[in-house]
Amino acid sequence: MLLQAKHIDFSYGDEAIFDDFNLAVEHGERVVLKGESGGGKSTLMRLLLGFEVPGSGTLEYDGTPLNGKHLRQFRRECAWLPQDLNIGTGRVDEVILFPFRFKQSGNSMPDEEKILDILSDLGLDADILEKEFTDLSTGQRQRVGIALCILLDKPVLLLDEPTSALDEASKEKAAGHLFSDPDRTVLSTSHDPFWLERCDRIIDLDAESEHKQNGS
Amino acid sequence: MEIIQLSWLQLAFGFIILIIPAAILWWFNTGLTGKMFVATIRMTLQLLFVGYYLEYLFEYDNTWLNLAWIMVMVVVADFATIDRSDLKTTRSLVLPIFWATFIGIVLINLFFLELVIQLPNFLEAQYAIPITGMVLGNCLRSNVIGINEFYYNLKENNERYQFYLASGATRSEALYPFFQRALQKSANPTLAGMATIGLVSLPGMMTGQILSGSSPMTAIQYQIMIMLAIFSGTILSVFLAIIFCNRTVFFDNDVLDKSIFKE
């Protein structure tokens, strides 16, 4: 298993989010989480990334618990599209290029042609690069975020509602890029039938008993 | 030209001018009239206390006594910085800010007093105490702006910071934009002051020197030196304060300890 959550308990204050939650994602698998808002879909990604700490249970990447150096290794090997899309500041070109300046990340700087091709596929014109990121609409921000995830070219993708603000044509192009590598493991959250259809496995977080029985 | 000595009666007479700001603040119902009187009384008592203490310090001019006084000034500045910065007075902030301010002050004093002015004893009271006081006062203001900006910007844009971490950044790399903005915010007031000094305002130190009989050119030379000391000291102390605090306010998973914020 590439990603595993074992017997996770987690709560925000008095509100229990996970109670003995289990999840296993295989290498190259495309798994989508669905469920009501506040049901823990985004929280699970934040737990995997080490931004929240479970009350009990363990999270593993490639068989090793996600903490210390291994957590940082995991962060280097994944790309995350957060739901609120607060992913940068300044001009859009600066937002896109900033993560490629992280020295130990292993991110290789993309050339301009590649950036423009991907933006174009996602329905964005080249002049968007000169705009302030904070001036963009939610849909434009989401496309820039997806473009960045594609450009980072990581073996693991954590995508929080990746198609919520995209039109049908852009969804097709985005999925084409994001699912282009069969070895890439994708864990996502979505309610979009378009996205659900293209994933290997759907996990309904509202059906808690299913998780416990199936380990997924 | 000899300076005209002020009598206590003359000084007391000077307080009458407060009738004007008090009346304006009272008329517009600002709620600041009481604060103005408290602040005036505090200012007067603190300066009288310092005046008596400095007379004593200058008379004895003992290196260790001077150093102790500088330490006291840094400790007061340390607590005042945290108190004004909307952060909690926790051990994880008090010690780093103390060391940042202390190291900043010592380095600036060593450079200007030892290397530029070339005093026989760089902790000579006549120079070390007033220059430390001026640099420290500005460091306090800049530290408040810089630390507030850094941690509140980080709190408000936590997801952006975490996005950088999740894209493979080290903690320092992910904090870089927040650091950049904190430095910009804290440097701007001093830079604006430097750009207009002499044109819009005559600074206090220079005015004091001229009043006490120094030639305007000597006063200006000292003022230029003190402006360099203030600017360098403020940037250095903000830089060190954020670096030192960052060693204590993050958990192992790079998550900011939010208990530092006043809620």
Q: What is the ipTM, given to two decimal places?
A: 0.92
Sequence-ordered alpha helix ranges (H) in B197-256: 204-211, 216-246
Per CB-CB distance under 8 Å, the chain A contacts of B163 are: 80, 82, 86-88
Residues A124 and A117: their CA atoms lie apart, in Å, by: 9
- The confidence band for B68, taking pLDDT boundaries of 50, 70 and 90, is very high
Separation between Cα atoms, residue B105 and residue B129, nearest integer Å: 11
Tokens in use for A11?
Answer: 């709560």
Q: Tens digit of pLDDT for each residue in B148-197?
A: 999 999 999 999 999 999 999 999 999 999 999 999 999 998 898 888 88
Kindly state the average pLDDT of the residues A79-91. Answer: 92
Contact B177 A89 (CB under 8 A): yes
Which positions in chain A have a beta carbon within 8 angstroms of at least one beta carbon in chain B?
Answer: 46, 49-51, 53, 67-68, 71-72, 75-76, 78-80, 82, 84, 86-89, 98-99, 101-107, 148, 152, 158
**B148 Cα to chain A: minimum distance (Å):** 19
Using an 8 Å Cβ cutoff, are B93 and B128 in contact?
no
Residue A212 has pLDDT above 80, yes or no: no
What CA–CA distance (Å, rounded) separates B121 from B112? 12
Indicate whether B103 pLDDT > 50.
Answer: yes
Establish if B156 touches chain A: CB-CB under 8 angstroms: no
B18 interfacial to chain A (CB closer than 8 Å): no
- Cβ neighbours of B168 in A, within 8 Å: 75-76, 99, 102, 104-107
Q: Nearest chain B residue to A69 by CA: give it.
A: B253
pLDDT digits (tens, 9 = 90+) for A41-61: 999 999 999 999 999 999 999
B164: tokens are: 């950088």
Of A103-117, A129-143, B28-42, B91-105, where does mean pLDDT reach its minimum? Answer: A103-117
Q: Where are the alpha helices (H) located in chain A, listed in sequence order? A: 41-48, 68-76, 92-97, 112-121, 138-152, 168-178, 193-197, 208-214
**What confidence score (pLDDT) does residue B48 get?**
94
> Averaged over B61-67, what is the pLDDT?
91
Burial of A62-83, coded b for 16+ CB within 10 Å and e otherwise, reads eeeebeeebbbebbbbbbbbbb
Q: Is the pTM above the cut of 0.80?
A: yes
Average pLDDT of the residues of chain B: 91
- Is the pLDDT assigned to residue A216 strictly greater than 80? no
Nearest Cα of chain A lies from the Cα of B82 at a distance, in angstroms, of 27
User: In which band, very low, low, confident or very high, does the pLDDT at B1 lie, cut at 50, 70 and 90?
Assistant: low
